[in-house]
Structure 1
Amino acid sequence: MKSNSFLVPLVTLFLLGSALSVSYAAEKKSSIAGGNLVGKVVEAPNNTGVSFATVALLAAKDSSLAVGSVADLNGVFSIPNVTPGNYIVRVTNIGYQTLFVPNVSVATEANVIDLGMLVMVAEAQKLNEVTITAEKSMIVDDIDKKIISIGQDLLASSNSVSDLMEKLPAVSLDENGNPQVRGKGNVVVLIDGKPSNLYGNDLPTILQSFPANLIERIEVMTTPSAKYEGEGASGVIDIITKKVKIRGTNGGARLSLGNKKNNSASGNVNYKAGKFGLTSSINAQSTNRYSKRSLNRENFISETPTFLQQTGTGENNNKNIFGRLGLNYDFNEKNTLEVGANYSRNNSGNRSDILNQTTFGDGSIKEEFTRINRGNGNGESMNMSLDYRKKFDKENQLFSFTANYSLGESGNDSFFDQESNIDSLDRHQKNLRNNNRRSLFLNSDYTWPITPKATLEVGIRSRFNTSDNTNSFYNLNAENQEFVFDPRISNIFGYKDQTYTGFMTFSKKTDMWGIRAGLRVTDYNQDINQISSNRQFGVHFLTLVPSLAITRKFNDVSQLKLNYSRRVQRPEADWLNPFTDVSDPRNIQTGNPDLKPEFTHKAELGYSSYETSGGWGPSLFMDYSNNAITRIRTIDENGIALSRYDNVGREMAYGFETDFSKTVWEVLKINGSGRVFRSEVVSAMAQIDNRTWSYSGNLNAFIKLPMDFRASAYLNYEGPRAIAQGTREGVFVANMGIRKDLLEKKATVSFNIQDIFLSRAYKSQLATETYSQNSLWQQTNRLINLSFNYRFGKISSRSGSGA
């Protein structure tokens, strides 16, 4: 492993050498080039910016492609160093008529040629039927994030947002379905810039129930600016849903049938006429998952060492329904109001059987019992939102206000049958859990373009969350066969938090340089009321989150950037709540009211070059925290483990990462990401010193086959990582699929297989002076599904003018 210490400096030299060579080539080219073409692509009649429009410069004499560019989110584009001559400008984007601008002349002495606003017309004003077939999967590297547009290939191989997540650069899912960035959890997930918990408490369920075909793009921020949530030590993921952009009616329907009753159906309809727009969607899904688990732990702390072995299987089935309805109204060109509502409901059932066996060193059995758990749960959530946007006379000056209110409730009934030949271990228990929650989110932003190239953005946020939780345990009385409440292992508590945030970011761009600096101030308050033990306590944090991003452009597609961000992970309610959970009597867990926030410093130096045919984005990164929140496990003389979160010490990760994409002969399209990194967890207090080098990566491949078939493959490997008290092993996943477009590309039928080799196994090893432990959790069913997706677009011949 010692030789790996040369990796980071070698990569640094390689990256800087590449950047300097590109810079030299760009400067050399600029000495003989003519001028820079700039402009903005807008949509008629409101002159709103058209995001990611493709601007091509064609030679006037033969219409051959000379150079091209992609507009940014606001429709602004720049084509630098254009060779003197006569050209035709061609502008294209999905859902719009192709725009041609002839007779564009670039003189030798030209500096900047401003084409002004290039106005595109929606296809809705031209066609009676619109079928969207263009592929728009691509990566755009902004100053502080990567923007991944979702194209038809990704949609055909993905039923839900959860499926899409795994295909993003640097993103993976853990064993519970929670997103990870660079192999680490604690990721803030937003939906249209709003906290995902407005849609429900369980993030994996939200992502699994959210249909993939409602997503327009996903933004991944590994070093987020101060504009975004200060939480999320690993990063921020913002899921942007589709909006009504074209006039008329369009939508789609999808049906997916899978093995072992893993089925789903969804549909969406969008309507736009004049000033009024409507979006609606519904998704129903049933999932069935099977798993196995094992744990082997040797206990050194007792006078006579013992060995605990747990083996078991599990089954979880879930049914959920998710619906959305949105209405938007354009009062005029500058004022827009949108209201929306989301509703979700789920029902779940689970069963697990675990054999617990404790033996002495000679193999003789000390105790043995089987614990059978049967549970049923249900929950529902309602979210209502209001969004108002006002544009001012000055270009790009914008005020926005958002209000979201959500409420939800959930309940779970579990029965534990613990069977043993030892009377003291033979018991029957009932566990009833209920949760009621309410959330209010208020957000106001103002964007002020101080100059054409400098922008100030300020905003304030307020968030209020409350929840009432009941966790009641009952023991069966053997004499009367009635369950009796046990207050020793039951818990009733109330939880509240209030967050007040203000942020400011300043951005300035020149032809070659860009800078974005920001500061976020957050006042955070938590109140926990342990009603069952008559104990109340509160937590208050005031945090500052600065950020800085600097970019140096070499040409229209290549740039070098340096980013820094300070992140904070605040303790969650369950981590603070000192209640002891005994659902697994050999592995109990409790909260720690003395937890302090974890602050993480994140830095990244990266280069990116993305063209229509592909590109890559290598970077060096480092994450550092000196008060990391980590789960610590201790063991007593009886071999019972107690887990709780603590601020243990220093945690660090650093390495090299790159994403890449390439289209080969318009037949093969590949994209993916990979990284080589070192992870370290060190704590003198907890006697922890774990350091390891590792590598991870994912690869997506799409290939066109005869008869209009297209195949896809997805591979992901998440390498070993140092964790507190041990190591988490690597995880490998392989998926594949095949699809075919039908009915003049209005429909797609696809066949997909997930976890082909049943290799998604999560293993970890822990080792301390008092115990050593190996554990495994694995999903044991290979998921196979056949999906049919139909898209339609019925467009009226007039745009309409009514409300």
Structure 2
Amino acid sequence: MSCFKHLFVYLILFASFTVHAQQTGKIYGQLSDTLTHQQLKDAFITITKDNVIRQSVFSNQSGGFSADNIPFGQYHLNISFQGLAPIKKSFTIDANHKVINMDTIYMFIQVKELDTVVIQEPPIVMKKDTLEYNSSRFRTKAYAALAELLKMLPGIQIRNDGTITINGQPVDQIYVDGEPFFSGEPSMALEHLPAEIVKKIQVYATNTNNNNIPGPPPPPGFPGNKTLNIVLKADKRKGNFGKIGAGGGTGSTYNAIGDLNHMNGGQQISVVADAGNVDKEKTGTDPVQPNNGIRRVMNGGINYRDSRNATLKFNGSYLANDTRTELESRSQTLNIFPGDSSTSLNQSTRGLNKMRSHLFNGKIDFTPNSRTTFSIIPMLNVQNSDNTTIQQSTQHYANSGAQIYQSSGTSNSNSNNSMISSNFQLNHTGKKMGEMLMANLNIRNVENKRSAQNETVTEYSAYSKNIHQLSDNKSGNFNVGSNVMYTKPLGEKYNFTAQGTYGFNKDNNLYNTYKFNDASGHYDQLDSTQSNNFISNYHSGTAQASIRGQAGKLNITLGAGLQGDWLTADNKTEHTRFSRSFINLLPQAMVSISPKNGKMLMVGYNGRPMTISIQQLQPVTVTSDSLFIQEGNPDLKQPYTHTLNMSFNAVKPGSMQLFTISMGASITEHSIAQSTTLLDNGGQLSKPVNLEGAQSANITLNYSTSALKGKLTFNMIGATAYSKIPVLSNGIRNDSRTFTTNSDLTCTYNNQKGWDVSLSVGPGYNIMTTSSGVRTKYFQTGITGKSLYSWKNLESGVSWYYNFNSSLPPDYQPDFPILSPVIRYRFLKNKALQASVTCVDLLNQQSGASRSVSATDVSDSWTRTRGRYLLFSLMFNFKHFK
């Protein structure tokens, strides 16, 4: 009995000791100054409670500081450094906040002026892996949307199709306080978030590890997708805000938009909806995208985020879309073949497309302790579409003009697609600073069904051919991807990272085409030449290791690894099976230098194999079109790409001057090219083959500056790209070489009193030549802008868009101007209600024309747009912050 008593006492003492040990926490961060962005060594840091110093530390040589074993309670962090203004920050250590990450703390130059300290945040800050804009230095008008703020930021462009680029690199998602706004879709944030709630906008590389791509995310200056993180102002985190508006006009045009946002600290609820059949304002200098047609769109959704509980956080969204597009277009395509074999295909198309989708995204973060976070990210996407198309085509030999065929036909199709996935993530931080374990498992299942009925009559010189068929296609894809990464510090200046990935992909494809049986009146005759059923399995695994070292301002990363791919296929139609396997090296090297005054230079190299699809390896024909036939090639070798990148970023401290340059070059061994053969009936037989010689290179420069105390800003972007793409045409090597250069010069002026003016000019020049002697070159430019003047509650002006393409035929409208004058008036309290009258496309151009160039063809296209209409609208904005 005595033993049990002693054991009970020991357990009580142990539990008490454990509880006591857990009643402490830790705080850490980084120090930098705003003038040169240098890391501040030997800054004196104290932690006080009730004006009593509890701990004191000095920052290390890299500007980092940390203090642990801090008992639960409320404290003040005091930082002092000679010549810089002292900083005092409050923080709390408790059960929900055991580890406090202060991120980078910037210290300002101390300016004494009548015993006061004058502090102004710099407009742009370049951190190690993040470019940060302070929105307070970029003023927008009242009730302006986020898009209006982004247009003012140096280096950021919003294109006509709604996509965003930063220094020429695409932005693929927008976060709010580190969490996706809806699914991260940029267009939702651009239209439904107001600019006035934004404190900072951070730009960093999108985390590719969630997609099981080997290696860490690319540096911010390197090519790759980018993420914008919207940091909200502290005084805008509690309250309600939103807008509601509607309008109607001539030609049965209408629009409606609304959003309601409720915020309560870490809790956010957003409900959005918009509908209409009007065109969006042209915002970029790029050409109008073809195939836009005349659209009617209806969207609605809800987004919920709750991060008030440090242990359990949730973010989820649902978005529904219904789109109806009327399409009327024509195109002229030059199919490039050697000698006199090139053909010209002229097509005119009328059609109607209906598409409906439902998208659900969620994320649950569970943090059982201060060092571990487990996340579950489910996703469900369901789509349905109906298409009706009427098409007429004529094909000639380009040189002689002799007609090969002419055809006309109709097509009706229905598609049902669904995707469900779950992503499981584990992030664990070790006891040592910099020690981290990340694991990721993604499971995804995709189901696609498509049924299409085609009736086509094709007339040749000596005969005609009627096609009356039904295609019934079903495909399924099951994918499992996993990724584990471990990082461990080796002393103070080195880090070791080990990473392994494994992926499994199973495809099940059933393509059946049936001919119409006149006797039975049904589609019951299987066409074996256009039917195929096959199953494939693809396994891929990688193992990598790298070491990163720091020597002063120099950072070097060296790594290597292996990737193995093994795939098997079973063709049920042809009763054939085959398997292939590949082993490749994964070298990696990167050097970055951070000299003074906010500059950073990065150079990197990596080698990566490219994935081969089962469709490319299938030893049979896979096609659903008798004029465009595709074959597989089981003898393909796996391509391997060597990539070299360089970037330089410079921000002038305390100003809006930003300069970036990025260069990239790649060479691909065993590149997969297309071997295209022109058939006697004018059709094309395409087959993938390995060809050497694929190359590409590009350079992008961006320079931004301001004048007149920030009222006038300039942004200049220039890009040049070269590519060599090897192809086979009728069995003859016919490489294409493409050289493109384009720029975008933007000037904005906003004096916050009356004038709001912007002008963008985007000239570009394109040259494409082939080994067979085909050469095309053309100049194109887009000019877009607006000129608005405000007087008291009245605003009037005009927006314009002009497109010119020297290569387009006269009947394709090589140049067209779009002018849209507008008058707006604000009234009620706080000018919350706005009435406006807009005349869209005053000159009634009704055009969307463009040219596209590839290694095998040159295509001009024209699509009818809505044209001129007059729109009357009302918009009411409301806001109430606590």
Scaled by the length of structure 2, what TM-score is found?
0.63
CA distance in 2 between counterparts of 1:789 and 1:568 reads 54
Structure 1 segment 283-682 matched on structure 2, within 5 A: 283-289=319-325, 290=327, 291-296=329-334, 309-313=345-349, 315=351, 316-358=353-395, 367-419=405-457, 424-483=464-523, 484-611=525-652, 613-664=656-707, 665-668=709-712, 671=715, 673-681=717-725
Quote the Cα distance in structure 1 between the aligned partners of 2:530 and 2:576: 16
Contact in 2 for aligned 1:524/1:542 (Cα 8 Å)? yes
Q: Which moved more, 1:454-463 or 1:699-708?
A: 699-708
Provide, for residues 305-358 of structure 1, a one-character-per-residue CA deviation record: whole Å limited to 9, x for no partner: 896533122544422221212221221211222222111111122233332335
Aligned pairs, how many?
Answer: 664
Provide the identity percentage.
14
Q: Which residue of 2 aligns with 1:169?
A: 167
Kindly report the root-mean-square deviation, in angstroms, between the aligned alpha carbons of the 2 structures. 5.3
For residues 445 and 530 of structure 1, do their structure 2 counterparts lie closer, same or farther at Cα, with a shift above 3 Å needed?
A: same
Structure 1 position 511, deviation (Å): 2.8
Q: Judge conservation of contact 1:379–1:408 (CA < 8 Å) in 2.
A: yes
Change in CA separation of 1:608 and 1:229 when aligned onto 2, cut-off 3 Å: closer
Distance 1:413-1:210 versus aligned 2 partners, 3 A rule: farther
Specify whether residues 434 and 551 from structure 1 end up closer, same or farther in structure 2 by C-alpha distance, changes over 3 A only.
same
Query: Are residues 1:272 and 2:307 paired?
Result: yes
Q: CA deviation at 1:417?
A: 1.0
CA contact (8 A) 2:349 2:391 kept: yes
State the match for 1:775 in structure 2.
Answer: 859
Partner secondary structure for residue 414 of structure 1: strand
Structure 1, residues 761-792: CA drift from partner, whole Å, max 9, x if none? 2433778xxxxx64334554479999999998
> What SS does the corresponding residue of 1:720 show, helix, strand or coil?
strand
1:152 aligns with 2:125: no
Choose from 690, 694, 717 the match for 2:740: 694
Query: Once the 2 structures are TM-superposed, how far is the Cα of residue 250 of structure 1 from its aligned partner?
Result: 2.2
C-alpha deviation, 1:714, in angstroms:
6.9
The amino acid across from 2:167 in the alignment is P
For residues 81 and 736 of structure 1, the distance between their equivalents in structure 2, rounded to whole angstroms, comes to 51
- Quickly say closer, same or farther: Cα 1:149–1:457, change in 2 above 3 A: farther
Distance 2:557 2:839 in 1: 42
* Farther-moved stretch of structure 1 (709-718 vs 307-316): 709-718
- Give runs of aligned pairs for residues 702-741 of structure 1, distance below 5 A: 704=750, 706=752, 720=766, 722=768
Task: State the AA in 1 paired with 2:859.
Answer: S
Q: Distance in 1 between matches of 2:410 and 2:748?
A: 45
How far apart, in 1, do the equivalents of 2:740 and 2:550 lie? Answer: 37
Question: What is the identity, as a one-letter code, of the residue corresponding to 1:227?
Answer: G
**Distance of aligned partners of 1:262 and 1:699 in 2 relative to their CA distance in 1, 3 Å threshold:** farther
Query: Partners in 1 of 2:493 and 2:840 — Cα distance?
Result: 49
Assess if the C-alpha contact under 8 Å between 2:588 and 2:605 holds in 1: yes
Paired residue type of 1:152: L
Larger radius of gyration: 2
Q: Tell me the TM-score normalised to structure 1 length.
A: 0.68
Q: Distance in 2 between matches of 1:45 and 1:790?
A: 44
**What secondary structure, in the 3-state scheme, does the structure 2 residue paired with 1:533 have?**
coil
Q: Find the residue that maps to 2:391 and give its secondary structure.
A: strand
Q: Deviations over 1:384-430 (max 9, x none)?
A: 12222211221121112222211121111111111356875122111
Q: For residue 667 of structure 1, what is the amino acid of its counterpart?
A: K
8 Å Cα contact 2:617/2:632 also seen in 1: yes
Distance 1:455 1:534, change over 3 A: same
Shift, 1:300, TM fit = 8.0
Aligned mates of 1:81, 1:382 — CA distance in 2: 52
Once the two structures are TM-superposed, the CA of residue 136 in structure 1 deviates from its matched residue by 11
- Asked if residue 249 in structure 1 is aligned to residue 267 in structure 2, the reply is yes
- Helix, strand or coil for the counterpart of 2:616? helix
> 1:761–1:776: 8 Å Cα contact kept in structure 2?
yes
* Letter aligned with residue 338 of structure 1: S
Q: Secondary structure at the match of 1:452?
A: coil
Q: Aligned in 2, Cα 1:573/1:47: closer, same or farther, shift over 3 Å?
A: farther
Question: Residues 762 and 776 of structure 1 are in contact (CA less than 8 Å); yes or no, is this contact kept in structure 2?
Answer: yes
1:219 aligns with 2:205: yes
Give the AA of the match of 2:860: L
Contact 2:597 2:651 in 1 (8 A): no
2:39 maps to 1:78: yes
Deviation at 1:479, TM superposition (A): 3.1
Out of 285, 297, 300, the residue aligned to residue 262 of structure 1 is 297
Partner of 1:186: none
For the 8 Å contact 1:681–1:688, the answer to whether it is kept is: no
1:764 matched to which residue of 2? 853
CA deviation digits over 1:226-260, x for unaligned, max 9? 61599xxx964365888999853124344444422
Mapped partners of 2:758, 2:424: distance in 1: 39
Long gaps (5+) in structure 2: 1-23, 44-58, 65-75, 98-119, 136-144, 176-182, 194-200, 238-264, 279-294, 787-798, 800-821
- Supply the distance in 2 between the matched residues of 1:207 and 1:101 (Cα, whole angstroms): 40
Q: 2: distance between equivalents of 1:561 and 1:344?
A: 39
Residue 281 (structure 1) shift: 1.6
Amino acid at match of 1:167: T
